[in-house]
Amino acid sequence: MEKRIRVNHQIITHDIHLFKKDLLEINCAKEEKNDLEPIDQDLEILYEDDIVLVVNKPIHMIVHEDGSHGITLDRIVAGYFQKTHQLCPIRHIHRLDQDTSGCILYCKQSYLQPYFDHAIKTKQIRRTYLAIVQGKISQAMTISKKIGKDRHANRFRVSSCGVEAVTHLKPLTYKNDKTLIECQLETGRTHQIRVHLSSISHPLIGDKLYGTASQYRCMLHSYSLSFIHPLTHKKIEVICEMPKDMRLCMES
């Protein structure tokens, strides 16, 4: 009906049969209306093509509107799309906590949103984090503990009545009674890494909710993100190097 489908360079307005070697073209450049007010602010782009955008979320910034009407990553992405004349929806595929930095994936085509939602649900999007914890972790381990909402506080906790949560840990560097570790998620529960690390008495440095407040923010960074591209079927892996404040934390 919108005349965005062609077969062998001819616009198709009704159902037809396709044959081997026919050329099928679908024009996906459809204008998308965004209700977000764009913000023109610097944005570190880690990867971009016609389908996806991966950016580095700064610390102390929320991904989407929470009622405060402040600066959000979604609004900055909207500003970037406006500045680059891209008529794309603002669709983040996953989120990070306010104090967590690193990779965030956006889908630029509405019709492919279900693909990425399914990929998240079926663990086909691989996410690796870097974290700095209190104390020494000397060997790799897997934490498989259910996580549920704490009824008495605005936080989460390990609970036999919670939902399955699995986190894989690998120590990288130990210094000044702090360990830099790599975390890989099999599941994506709210505050999963923070809750699991606290449960083994190695809370994140700077995690005032599950550990002890310090001069540092919560020392957690989304280091890498990988997924299978829905059109090329090739693996895309994006790296976001560890930020300066985490390097300084390990040295102090």
Asked if 20 and 51 sit in the same domain, the reply is: no
CA distance 243 to 101: 8
Asked if 22 and 39 sit in the same domain, the reply is: no
- Low-confidence residues of the chain: pLDDT under 50: none
Q: Looking at residue 11, what is its pLDDT?
A: 95
Asked if 2 and 100 sit in the same domain, the reply is: no
Amino acid at 120: I
Asked if 20 and 109 sit in the same domain, the reply is: no
Q: Looking at residue 169, what is its pLDDT?
A: 97
CATH of the domain at 64: 3.30.2350.10
Question: How much is the pTM?
Answer: 0.86
Q: Looking at residue 31, what is its pLDDT?
A: 60
3-state secondary structure of 163: strand
Asked if 77 and 25 sit in the same domain, the reply is: no
pLDDT digits (tens, 9 = 90+) for 51-110: 999 999 999 999 998 776 689 999 999 999 999 999 888 999 999 999 999 999 999 988
Report, as residue numbers or ranges, the catalytic residues: 97
Sequential DSSP letters for 157-223: EE-TTSB--EEEEEEEEEETTEEEEEEEESS--TTHHHHHHHHTT-PBTT-TTTS---SS---EEEE
Measured in degrees and rounded to the nearest 5, phi and psi for residue 41 equal -145, 150
Give the number of domains in the chain: 2
Bridge-partner residues for 156, per DSSP? 149
Q: Looking at residue 111, what is its pLDDT?
A: 84
Q: Looking at residue 69, what is its pLDDT?
A: 64
Query: How distant is the alpha carbon of residue 206 from its chain centre?
Result: 21
Q: Looking at residue 33, what is its pLDDT?
A: 66
What residue numbers bound the domain in which 18 lies? Answer: 1-30
Taking alpha carbons only, the member of 93, 126, 140 closest to residue 112 is 93
Asked if 86 and 182 sit in the same domain, the reply is: yes
Q: Looking at residue 183, what is its pLDDT?
A: 97
